[in-house]
Structures are given as structure tokens and as C-alpha cells.
Amino acid sequence: MSWVPPNLSEACQVYTTVTNCAPSTFLFLQLITDLFGYSRDSRGLAHGFSSHHSSFDHEFESFLDSHSGNSHQARDEDYDFIVVGAGSAGCVMANRLTEIGKWRVLLLEAGDEEPEVAEVPAFAPALQTSSIDWMYETQPTPNACLARPNGRCAWARGRVMGGSSTINYLIYIRGIPRDYDEWAEMGNHGWSYEEVLPYFIKSEDNRNIDMVDSRFHGTNGPQTVEVFPYQDEVTLGLVKAYEELGLPIIDQNSDRVIGAMLLQHTTRDGERLSTNGAYIRPIRYKRSNLVVKTNAEVSRVLIDPSTKIAYGVEYVQNGKLKQARAKKEIIVSGGSINSPKILMLSGVGPANHLQEHGIQVINDLAVGFNLHDHVTIDGVVFTLSPYSARNASDEEIRDDIYKYKDTRRGPLASTGPLQSNAMVQTKYEKLHDAPDIQYSIDSMNVENFLSDPILTAQTAVTPLAYYTGLMARPILLSPKSRGVVRLNDSDPIYGAPLIHPNTFNEEIDLLRIVEGVKQSLNLLSTHTMQHLGARLATTPLPACRHIPFGSDDYWACIAQSYTTTIYHPVGTCKMGPKSDNEAVVDPKLRVYGIKNLRVVDASIMPKIVRGNTNAPTIMIAEKASDLIKNQWLGGGNRYEGPTRHQDLFNIDF
């Protein structure tokens, strides 16, 4: 494979002073493509699939004709389990299920192999809108994304081995104990904090165990977690500034979260460790019972409409429609956007919506509903003094790139100021020790942003290590607003799903964000930030110039106009008891009314966790793999989860 960087040419066609459109940016993208554009996993593998199909009408007709389960397509191969999607959950599932030597597992990924460029922490911005991103956009909504092109916000999702764990910003935060206790209180037995903590520990290889509360961490798991090997003065200053404001410096992956910390990340020795790197790469060419197929986009799960038994999948690879059969189970791990799409194309979803598309309804479930995300905003800009800004010439950046390639050290082995983290309560949060706002501080080019905030966002590809200012992002941790994912009206199979996030539909969400903005400004009063020369940029942004700068109404306008997200969509295949009309899967993640079909990814979260979602998604998959082993290896409740003898099932049968 060869990674294709974001295409900036269209956005940069108009005259602009935004330096992201300067020739040096294009040269930077060419350099990192040449040096890091290939994958260490590509040996001996065939590629070349294109998702563009000239014969869509014929394929869609075949799809509808075969939906009764009487497909005439020749089946390719039989497996015990098929895992759909090699993302944060799917890679874990494939690893854990192939621990059983007699089980043959097929892992299907719509995207390509993981390129080396994704392994460089500071290159994270260049991964979005590149060839490994689905490049989804939301549908226009009356209360958010109002200044974005066509009223749509970008929702990056990983289309690559490792999924969104390959393109995210690497933060390892689990949420708070109450999040999981709430899941259990909603009728999801087995998902309390006490019951899921062992799975966090099982997955984790913490390389800074002396810096955290060891009671809550593991050191023997596949997923390495560590502090970056590089921090600059501003990054460390932000942590100190939070402490000046009275926030304790704590391990936010323990039983206390309100406070601040220097974050740990899903990296190993200075480079990203996606779930592909942690769970698949070590076993891919060693376990003969694992089959991995990339560029294989699943269109639907095959379900017998009479027996309601799932028995296989249909997918496209190299332009050919193929089938694979599963003797035991199909596990859908496509994520919160693609998992509901696949279920609906398979006849599982809201009856009225499926019938609109001519899809036979096999089971009427609330698939696609309960969509929610961690929303944040662009617009709270801190300038820095020249001595604390991290400017670099083209030559210095090039030297840092070569240094990183040789040593995995230097500024590129980090995400800059984003390493600092704080969790706080606003006046609207009444629960004890439950934050409603998280602060992420992004690096940015102040001049670019104030000149053209929209074009700057569209062309933001430069490394996180270099910046002239900071973007303070209050992140809404527990939103009340709910959205929905629907099938594409004109192209339900290969078209992007319609994402209706309904952001800020509930007024309380906007009120919390505004309060979060106001609290973030307290950073500027600290001695540390004053020493760094941090000041609030008071240039009003174009969409809100008509409102007095700094007022509550101004910040509300900024939130609704320059809405963005940290890409944590959840909830669209909600886990819940049978009595919950919105539930799609039961507490064992089995799809209601369909035998041998589960969903295992962030879409099952009944309510989003108060923290980043990658670590919880890995936990979900770890737990799900044990639920499956427990069912198929017999003995009723003989296996209740990881213990001191975590290798109980790591043997051949």
C-alpha cells in the first residue's frame, strides 16, 4: 500500500494568507509520504480494492433479490467466527478468539494496512481526511456546525487496520467508576465498575506503573500505555497551572478523576500502538487459525429470515462480491457509524426505515438511535509570547522528522500540549466526583485561525509539536442530546450513512459548554501561564462578530457555529435489558431476536463514559471475548472473567 495524504488543493484554491496552504505544507506531506507512507504489514498481501462501483444498480438489485437468504453467490470459505471490522474492538476479538486453536477466525477490514505515518504521534492531524479515514460528515442541524461548510461537521473514523485507534490522538482515559455502575443500574448485569476493571487491567501494559495507582493498572497485557518521551515547557506548564487552580494531580484512571494529570497514551517506546499493533501484528503470521482480509467491505450479515440465524457475511473485495460463512458467530465491530449501517442492510433495524429502502425486515429494533458524542468547540484561543511559542523553520522540522525516524525521539514523539488533561465540574453538575467538562489544550497557529478559522480547520495537517498558540477545548462529557444514524437515501449500500447528531438540541448541553469556556479562562490568571505569556485572543470570529466578545451569548454562538468533536460517537446499538425498547443487544452483546450475532464496539454503550472511548472499547472487546468463550466452551458460568490465572483459555483444544 501507499498512504495518500489529505488533498488540500481544493480547499487552497482561493487566495489566502493561511500558511497551511503554503508550498512548504505540500512539501511536508510529500516528505512524510515518502518516508512513512508504507506499511510494515504489507508483505505478500494483495491490495487494490476500490470502493467505487460502476455497476451499483446491478449490485443493489442483486442485494435485494438475495436478501431472503437464497443467495446464489458461491461461498468462499467456512470459519468458526467472522469479525467484521479490524478496529479498536475487532482486533481484540480476533486475537482473543484465536487463542483457541481449534477455532478458525476471519477478520475483515474495509480499509488498508496501517501505514507507518500513523505511528508518529505528532502526525495525527494529517491522518484525518487521508486515505485511511472514512471522511464522514454530519447532516445539517439547526443548533450546531452552523459556520462549517454546508452546515456539516467532519466526523473522522478510521478506515484501516486498527480502525480509529490508528488515527486518534492516542489518549488513554477510561472514564469514571460511576459510568459503568450506571450501565449496571440500567439493567446491564455484569458491567459494573468492579466487574469491568479486571478487563482494563488484563488489556494493559503500563510502562509507567510508578506514576499511577497500581491497584487499577496492569503490566502484562498487549496494549502498551505510557507517558510520551517528550514534553516541552508549555505542556508541563499547563499541568502546573491546573495545580495552581486547586486541581490535584492524580491518576485519572483510578477511582478519582476530578483533577489534572500528564496523560498516558497508547504508545510503545515513542510510537503509536494501535490495537492492530498490539493485538494483531504479534500473531498475524504465527496463528494459522487467523485469516485477515483487508480492503474487504462488508455489505451485510447473512441471516436466515425463517430461523433468524446469522450464518455468514457478504463483502466486496477487489471489486468482487464474496461470501464467507460462520459455523458459530458473526461479531460486528464496525463502530458506532458502520455497525448500525451493516445491521440495517442485513434486515435488523427500524422497520419503517428498512421498508423505505426495500429491505426485508428480519427484526424490528432501534438500530441507529441513541447516538451521542463528546462535543467540543473551536474558538477559545490563547496567544503565547515569542519565547514560549514552538515555531520551527522548514529545515528544523525536516531535521526532527529524520531524527524521529532514526530514534523515535524528539518533538514528534508527542502530541504537544495535548498531553495535559483536566476534569472539572461546572455549576450544573450535582453528582459527587463526576466531571461534566474535560479540558484538552490543542496546539495551533493563531494567525492562521484568526485569519480564517474554517479554512484552517480544513487544512490542519502540520505536526502537533509546532505552534504559536493554544486552543482551549471544553469537552462535554455527559451530553443529554441524542441523534440517529440512517441509511443513505440514494446509495444505502456503499453510500456514507446519514449522521444526524442533533448536537445542542438539549439546552443544558450548551449551558455546560459555555460554563466550561468561562472556567478555562481561569488558566490565564495563573503565574505559570502568565510566565509563558499566555493571553486570550480577543479578535471575534466571523460568525459571531455581531455579539459582544466574551459574553455568554458570544461563547454560545461560537459553540453553535464552530462546533467540533473529539470523535467519540457511541450508543447506536445500545446495550440494555429486554424491557428497554431502545436496546439492540443484551448484556452479553447478542443482538435481540437474532441467533449467533453480536455487536462488539463503542456502539453498545448505553451512555457515553466521562472520558475518552478507546480504552473502554478495548475493555468491551476483552469482556466480550470471554463471554463468547464461556458460551461455546461449555460449562454454563464456568468462566467469569480474568483472574490471577488469566491464561485459563489461552490453550489449544
Q: Specify binding-site residues for FAD.
A: 160, 298
Pinpoint the alpha helices (H) of 527-643: 527-531, 552-561, 614-632
Catalytic residue status for 568: yes
Q: Which residues, at least 6 apart from 423, have a Cβ–Cβ distance to it below 8 Å?
A: 252, 257, 258, 259, 260, 435, 437, 438, 439, 477, 610, 611
Binding site membership: which residues? 160, 298
Burial letters 287-304, b for 16+ CB under 10 A, else e = bebbbbbbbbbbbbbbbe
Torsion of CA 342, 346, 349, 351, to 10 degrees: 140
Residues β-bridged to residue 225 = 206
* Helical axes 193-203 vs 614-632, angle rounded to 10°: 100
CA-to-CA distance for 94 and 431, rounded, in angstroms?
Answer: 38
* Helical axes 507-520 vs 552-561, angle rounded to 10°: 110
CA-to-CA distance for 614 and 333, rounded, in angstroms?
Answer: 13
Q: Which of 181, 237, 246 is nearest to 424 (CA)?
A: 246
CA-to-CA distance for 296 and 370, rounded, in angstroms?
Answer: 28
Q: How many CB atoms lie within 10 A of CB 18?
A: 23
Note whether 584 and 605 are within 8 A (CB): no
SS3 409: coil
DSSP assignment, residue 491? -
The number of C-alpha atoms within 13 Å of 266 and in the hemisphere containing its C-beta is 34
Measured in whole angstroms, how far is the alpha carbon of residue 259 from the centre of its chain? 24
The number of C-alpha atoms within 13 Å of 590 and in the hemisphere containing its C-beta is 16
Q: Which residues, at least 6 apart from 393, have a Cβ–Cβ distance to it below 8 Å?
A: none
CA-to-CA distance for 583 and 562, rounded, in angstroms?
Answer: 33
Phi, psi of 500 (to 5 degrees): -110, 90
CA-to-CA distance for 180 and 209, rounded, in angstroms?
Answer: 24
**Cell triple for 141:** 442541524
| Catalytic residue chosen out of the listed positions 53, 432, 568, 645 | 568
CA-to-CA distance for 521 and 510, rounded, in angstroms?
Answer: 17
In 3-state terms the chain splits into helix, strand, coil percentages (rounded to 5) of 30, 20, 45
Q: How many CB atoms lie within 10 A of CB 515?
A: 21
CA-to-CA distance for 609 and 477, rounded, in angstroms?
Answer: 7
CA-to-CA distance for 255 and 443, rounded, in angstroms?
Answer: 30
**Cell triple for 83:** 469479525
Q: Which residues form the catalytic set? A: 568
